[in-house]
């Protein structure tokens, strides 16, 4: 079902909401999660429309569309975005039908998704935890997208100066003298019902944790602006929901250990690492043009490395993440074979020191079991491989 390459099958208009540029199609369906941030931001600033096109390979992509089309205003009654209900019966109904709001491309169990939605409508502070590349940020963004509320995104892992990101800066002007300019975060917490994403909170500077301590406390809910003249504190508006993500697991020793008091302020939603079966269906869903036997092998490789890294006698410290399997399959789609794809996407993540005893050698052995020619030298005996495979099931 390949479309005419010159005509888009969906056209969207991009509009700012908080610090995010959301994309709405002509039916009022929110398409934000399908389009890259930079593309949406440019379209919102440039005031042009984006169209979804299909290339010869059957893959879709978005670009500027100048053609004639009438774009409706955002329609909040559409089922991909919903008003947040208030009555208990309505809330019950909302939570238990909310699985339809989960994007198809996000693999997450129904129970976990509903728990996440329930925590969001109940105004809980949510913390998504799990190892790297398991979908924490994706799930957090999906919740934010599913609720028709102003949303703000802050990547705290990338912030060098928490004070200016979360509070603001003091400036000097020759006419006005010293004055204080508030951060976008201050605007965000003063917006009733805003959903505020605090990505990579576990990597944030401890100063950021200290600043957030009172903001996240249900009994306090204020931000202290110690630099500001006059007002000392800013109240968090009613209905504001925080969704944070954190890498928490014993392999993340480089991530600062988060303060217990801060953790206590959150409802934890643990993202599950995908099973081999779920990984296979995700890869098949995302890469319908790639041989499904090869996709199945990629899922097997990931699953073998994951169970090995969890075993008592682990020879590798972490398993291949879903982020990596998705990247690897993108290479397969672009014509690289499994061996080549693994070489550039998987191996660099594993330590090469120690020669035949290195982590990289171990992972190579697993991958080579699934490569076509099978001619490579085996450094492990069959028993060892059988043991690794046995652990996976
Ligand atoms: N459960 C999942 N369902 C669908 N895709 C997934 C899932 N987990 C990971 N992915 C894929 O991996 C990519 C990275 O996921 P994401 O950024 O959400 O990981 P993360 O858990 O936030 O990782 P990090 O700890 O490094 O921040 C996604 O863009 C997606 O392609
Ligand atoms: Mg993330």
Which ligand has the minimum distance to the alpha carbon of residue 328? 1
Kindly give the distance from the C-alpha atom of residue 323 to the centroid of ligand 1, in angstroms, as a whole number.
5
Q: How many residues are given for the chain?
A: 393
Q: Report how far ligand 2's centroid is from the alpha carbon of 134 (Å).
A: 8
pLDDT, residue 375, reads 47
Nearest CA to ligand 1 atom 7: 135
pLDDT of residue 389: 56
CA–CA dist 375, 149 (Å, integer): 56
Beta bridge partners of 13: 24, 49
Q: Distance from the CA of 278 to the center of ligand 1, in angstroms? A: 14
Which residues surround ligand 1 with Cβ inside 6 Å?
105-108, 130, 132-138, 245, 247, 274, 282, 322-323, 326
**pLDDT the model gives residue 388:** 55
| Distance (Å, whole) CA 63 – CA 65 | 6
How far apart CA 283 and CA 388 sit, in angstroms, is 23
Write the CA distances from 249 to 108, 132, 318, integer angstroms: 19, 9, 10
Q: Rounded to the nearest whole angstrom, what is the distance from the C-alpha of residue 141 to the centroid of ligand 2?
A: 10
Which candidate, 350, 359, 338, places its Cα nearest to that of 295?
Answer: 338
Calpha distance 3→77 (Å, rounded): 28
Q: Phi/psi of residue 235, each to 5°?
A: -80, 140
Strand pairing class (49-54; 222-224): unpaired
CB 20 within 8 A of CB 151: yes
Q: Give the integer Cα–Cα distance in Å for 58 and 53.
A: 9
Alpha carbon distance 241, 269 (integer Å): 14
DSSP secondary structure, 15-50, as one string: EEETTEEEEEETTS-B-GGGS-HHHHHHHHHHT-EE
Q: How far is the CA of 247 from the centre of ligand 1 (A)?
A: 12
Query: 61 pairs with which residues across the strands?
Result: 53
**Residue where the block lists tokens 């997208």:** 145
pLDDT at residue 325 in the model: 98
Question: What's residue 376's pLDDT?
Answer: 44
Strands, DSSP E only, in 55-167? 60-65, 126-129, 151-155
321 CA → ligand 1 middle, Å: 8
Measured from the alpha carbon of residue 247, the closest ligand is 1
**Ligand 1 site-directed mutation target among 112, 134, 140, 252, most atoms within 8 Å of CB:** 134
In the reported structure, the alpha carbon of residue 13 is separated from the centroid of ligand 1 by a whole-number distance in angstroms of: 26
The partner residues of 354 in beta bridges, in order of sequence, read none
Ligand 1: atom nearest CA of 131 is 25
Per-residue pLDDT of the chain (393 residues; tens, 9 = 90+): 444 567 899 999 998 887 788 898 888 788 888 898 899 999 999 999 999 998 877 788 999 998 776 545 444 433 455 566 678 888 888 899 999 999 999 999 999 999 999 999 888 999 999 989 999 999 999 998 888 888 999 999 988 899 999 999 888 888 878 888 899 999 999 999 999 999 999 889 989 999 999 999 999 999 988 754 555 789 999 999 999 999 875 444 444 567 788 888 999 999 999 999 999 999 999 999 999 999 999 999 999 999 999 999 999 999 999 999 999 999 999 999 999 999 999 999 999 998 888 999 999 999 999 986 544 444 455 555 555 555 544
Instruction: Name every residue whose Cβ is closer than 8 Å to that of residue 353 and which is 6 or more positions away in sequence.
Output: none
pTM of structure: 0.77
Closest ligand 1 atom to Cα of 105:
4
Eight-class DSSP state of 191? S
Residue 279 CB contacts under 8 Å (≥ 6 apart), including other chains: 107, 298, 299, 302, 303, 322, 325
Counting ligand 1 atoms within 8 A of each CB, the residue from 203, 323, 331 with the most, and so the one to mutate, is 323
Task: Give me the residues paired with residue 241 across strands.
Answer: 195
- To which residue do tokens 């303060």 refer? 259
* Shortest-distance ligand to the CA of residue 321: 1
Atom of ligand 1 nearest to the CA of 139: 18
If one counts every other C-beta atom within 10 angstroms of the C-beta of residue 338, the result is: 21
Residue 120 CA to residue 85 CA, distance in Å, equals 11
Distance 104 CA to ligand 1 centre (A): 14
Find the 139 Cα to ligand 2 centroid distance in Å.
Answer: 9
Nearest-atom number in ligand 1 for the CA of 326 is: 31
Task: Tell me what pLDDT residue 179 has.
Answer: 83
Strands 195-199 and 151-155: parallel
Ligand 1 atom closest to 321 (CA): 9
Tokens 């002509």 sit on residue = 26
Q: Residue 155: which residues within 8 A CB-CB, separation 6 or more?
A: 199, 200
Residue by residue, DSSP assigns 224-285 as: E-TTSSS--EEEPPTT-EEEEEE--STT-TTSPPPPHHHHTTSEEEEPPPPPHHHHHHHHHH
Of ligand 1's listed atoms, the one at least distance from the Cα of 245 is: 22
């Amino acid at each position: 079902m390949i479309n005419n390459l010159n005509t888009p099958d969906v056209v969207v208009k991009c509009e700012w909401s908080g610090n995010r540029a959301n994309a709405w199609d002509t039916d009022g369906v929110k398409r934000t999660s399908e389009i890259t941030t930079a593309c949406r931001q440019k379209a919102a600033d440039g005031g042009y429309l984006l169209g979804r096109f299909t290339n010869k390979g059957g893959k879709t992509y978005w670009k500027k569309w100048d053609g004639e089309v009438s774009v409706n205003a955002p329609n909040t009654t559409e089922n991909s975005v919903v008003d947040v209900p208030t009555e208990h019966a309505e809330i019950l109904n909302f939570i238990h039908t909310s699985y339809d709001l989960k994007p198809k491309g996000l693999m997450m169990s129904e129970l976990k998704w509903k728990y996440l939605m329930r925590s969001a409508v109940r105004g809980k502070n949510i913390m998504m935890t799990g190892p790297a590349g398991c979908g924490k940020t994706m799930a957090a963004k999906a919740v934010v997208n599913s609720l028709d509320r102003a949303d703000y995104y802050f990547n705290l892992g990338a912030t060098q100066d928490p004070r200016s990101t979360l509070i603001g800066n003091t400036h000097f002007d020759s006419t006005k003298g010293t004055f204080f300019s508030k951060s976008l975060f201050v605007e965000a917490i003063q917006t009733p019902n805003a959903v505020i994403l605090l990505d990579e909170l576990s990597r944030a500077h401890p100063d950021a944790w200290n600043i957030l301590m009172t903001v996240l406390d249900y009994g306090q809910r204020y931000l202290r602006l110690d630099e500001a003249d006059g007002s000392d504190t800013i109240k968090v508006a009613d209905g504001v929901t925080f969704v944070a993500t954190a890498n928490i697991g014993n392999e993340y020793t480089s991530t600062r250990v988060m303060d217990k008091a801060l953790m206590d302020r959150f409802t934890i939603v643990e993202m599950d690492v995908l099973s081999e079966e779920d990984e296979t269906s995700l890869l098949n869903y995302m890469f319908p043009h790639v041989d499904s036997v090869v996709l199945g092998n990629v899922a097997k490789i990931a699953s073998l490395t994951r169970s090995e890294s969890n075993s008592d006698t682990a020879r590798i410290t972490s398993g291949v993440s879903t982020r990596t399997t998705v990247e690897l399959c993108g290479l397969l789609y672009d014509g690289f074979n499994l061996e080549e794809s693994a070489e550039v996407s998987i191996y660099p993540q594993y330590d090469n020191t120690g020669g035949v005893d290195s982590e990289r050698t171990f992972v190579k052995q697993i991958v080579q079991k699934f490569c076509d020619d099978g001619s490579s030298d085996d450094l492990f005996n069959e028993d060892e491989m059988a043991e690794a495979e046995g652990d996976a099931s």
